[in-house]
Structure 1
Amino acid sequence: MGSISVAQAAQRLGVSVPRIHQRIADGSLVAERIGAQWVVDERSLLHVQERSKAGRPYSARSAWALIEVSEHDRDAVRPSGSAAVSRARKQLGRLLEMAVARPDGEESVKELAASLRSMFRNRAERRQLRAAPADLADLQADPRWSSLVDLGASGIASADVEGYLEESQVAGVVKDYLLVESDRDANVVLHVIPDAQNPFPNSRLRLAADLAEHRGPREEARAVELVHDLAMEWKDAAR
């Protein structure tokens, strides 16, 4: 994706040009000045469009409850009388119903991927950073990670480092590897979670949310495929 003019951005969002300049000033839209004009990063614009249309996301607690429930037999997660588990099962059921029929086109894939991003965005604070390429191997091997995201296992080739890190460990990792915030050339993605939060390393649903947040066509397609497979398993188990 590239950049578009302020006027084009205003047209897409259905707002005035001054409102786009306000969003640039407050940082909610990524833009750069070229000569006397501002140009808006198209990926950033899509992010704003999506958030304006998406429904209310789950709380962090609810998001992790859905991820936990998805990884267990539907009748053996916790005692059946647990109201929290019952609620999580219902929420998961509604999500999986959307994926039972395999999306058959680009727009369907994008719609389900957008739903994943919206529903699960509160599970962790997602930070994009830049490390020196020579440090990536050491960073990936650092024992402070709670869980690394293995994009290669999902069929997505990536030299980047991505993982879940407890909040108390973030400052030390950022300092030790001289990580800097980066929107466009990030090669490190941190998902910051509260201390002691289980990131469920083997969860397909969590991996689907991770992939959807990359917003690339391959990542979105793989995210939807993972949720579809999970939906079919739950449908079979219900028979």
Structure 2
Amino acid sequence: MGAISVAEAAERLGVSVSRVHQRIADGSLVAQRIGSQWVVDERSLLRIQERSKAGRPLSDRSAWAVIAVSEKDRDRLHPSVPAASARARMRLKRLLEPALEPIVGEEAVRELAVSLRSMLRNRAQRRPFRAASADLGDLSADDRWAMVVDLGASGIASADVEGYLAESGVDGIVKDYLLVDADRDPNVVLHVIPDGQHPYPDSRLRLAADLAEHRGPREEARAAELLHELALEWKAEER
């Protein structure tokens, strides 16, 4: 994805050019000034379009309940609230049903990725940063991570260090490694989760959500493959 003009961004969003300039000024749209003109980052625009169309995302607790159900982890579901478990199973079923057949075509892959991002967005606060290249090795080995994502095995191509970090550890990590907020070209991605939340390091559903959030065609296609695998297993277990 590249950059588009302010006028094109306004047309896609169905708003005025001045409204796009307001979004650029308040930081909700990523843009770059080239000469006397602004150009808008297309990926940033897609995020806004998607959020305006998508349904209300689940709370962090509900999102993790769906992930727990996908992992058949009854111990971490609230046993005193059986209705919550039933809702999580229903939501998982709704997510997986469209993936029962192989996902073919860019549009179908994108639709599934949108559903995944919408449902599980609040499982963690996604914070992109840049760090000095020399610090990345020490950063990935830091024992404060709840879980570091194996980028090579996952199919994620756009970050050098990515993982789940408990909320209480964020300030220390940011300070110790001089992390700088980076909306464009991050080399560190923190998924900030509540203290005590299990990150499900082997969960294919959680990994699919991570992949979908990168919004690249390679990552979204891999996310669709993972959902298809889960859907087939879910269907076989229902019989």
Normalised to the residue count of structure 2, the TM-score between the two structures is 0.94
Match of 1:83 in 2: 83
CA contact (8 A) 1:167 1:195 kept: yes
Change over 3 Å in CA distance of 1:158–1:37 after alignment to 2 = closer
User: How many angstroms apart in 2 are the aligned matches of 1:79 and 1:11?
Assistant: 49
Change over 3 Å in CA distance of 1:224–1:79 after alignment to 2 = same
SS of equivalent residue, structure 1 residue 72: coil
Match of 2:183 in 1: 183
Structure 2: runs of 5+ lacking an equivalent: none
CA contact (8 A) 1:31 1:39 kept: yes
CA contact (8 A) 2:212 2:220 kept: yes
After superposition, the CA RMSD in angstroms is 1.8
Structure 1, residues 12-46: CA drift from partner, whole Å, max 9, x if none?
11111111111111111011222222111111111
User: How many angstroms apart in 2 are the aligned matches of 1:82 and 1:123?
Assistant: 21
Change over 3 Å in CA distance of 1:22–1:184 after alignment to 2 = same
Instruction: Among all aligned residue pairs of Structure 1 and Structure 2, give the percentage whose two residues are the same amino acid.
Output: 74
User: Match of 1:112, as an amino acid?
Assistant: L
SS of equivalent residue, structure 1 residue 213: helix
Structure 1, residues 72-111: CA drift from partner, whole Å, max 9, x if none?
179xx77698111111111111111121122111100011
Match of 2:165 in 1: 165
The answer on 1:8 being equivalent to 2:8 is: yes
The range that moved more, 77-86 or 128-137, is: 77-86
Change over 3 Å in CA distance of 1:14–1:157 after alignment to 2 = closer
Change over 3 Å in CA distance of 1:179–1:224 after alignment to 2 = same
The range that moved more, 229-238 or 77-86, is: 77-86
CA contact (8 A) 1:60 1:124 kept: yes
Structure 1: runs of 5+ lacking an equivalent: none
Moved over 6 A (4+): none
CA contact (8 A) 1:80 1:86 kept: no
Change over 3 Å in CA distance of 1:54–1:194 after alignment to 2 = same
Match of 2:102 in 1: 102
SS of equivalent residue, structure 1 residue 98: helix
User: How many angstroms apart in 2 are the aligned matches of 1:95 and 1:136?
Assistant: 35
User: How many angstroms apart in 2 are the aligned matches of 1:208 and 1:90?
Assistant: 19
Match of 2:57 in 1: 57
**Deviation, structure 1 residue 118:** 1.0
SS of equivalent residue, structure 2 residue 99: coil
Match of 2:212 in 1: 212
Match of 2:22 in 1: 22
User: How many angstroms apart in 2 are the aligned matches of 1:199 and 1:91?
Assistant: 19
Match of 2:40 in 1: 40
Structure 1, residues 170-189: CA drift from partner, whole Å, max 9, x if none?
01011111110011121000
User: Match of 1:70, as an amino acid?
Assistant: S
The answer on 1:148 being equivalent to 2:186 is: no
Match of 1:128 in 2: 128
SS of equivalent residue, structure 1 residue 146: strand
User: Match of 2:191, as an amino acid?
Assistant: H
SS of equivalent residue, structure 1 residue 212: helix
User: How many angstroms apart in 1 are the aligned matches of 2:234 and 2:219?
Assistant: 23
User: Match of 2:50, as an amino acid?
Assistant: E
Matched pairs, number: 238
CA contact (8 A) 1:120 1:209 kept: yes
User: Match of 2:194, as an amino acid?
Assistant: P
Normalised to the residue count of structure 1, the TM-score between the two structures is 0.94
User: Match of 2:202, as an amino acid?
Assistant: N
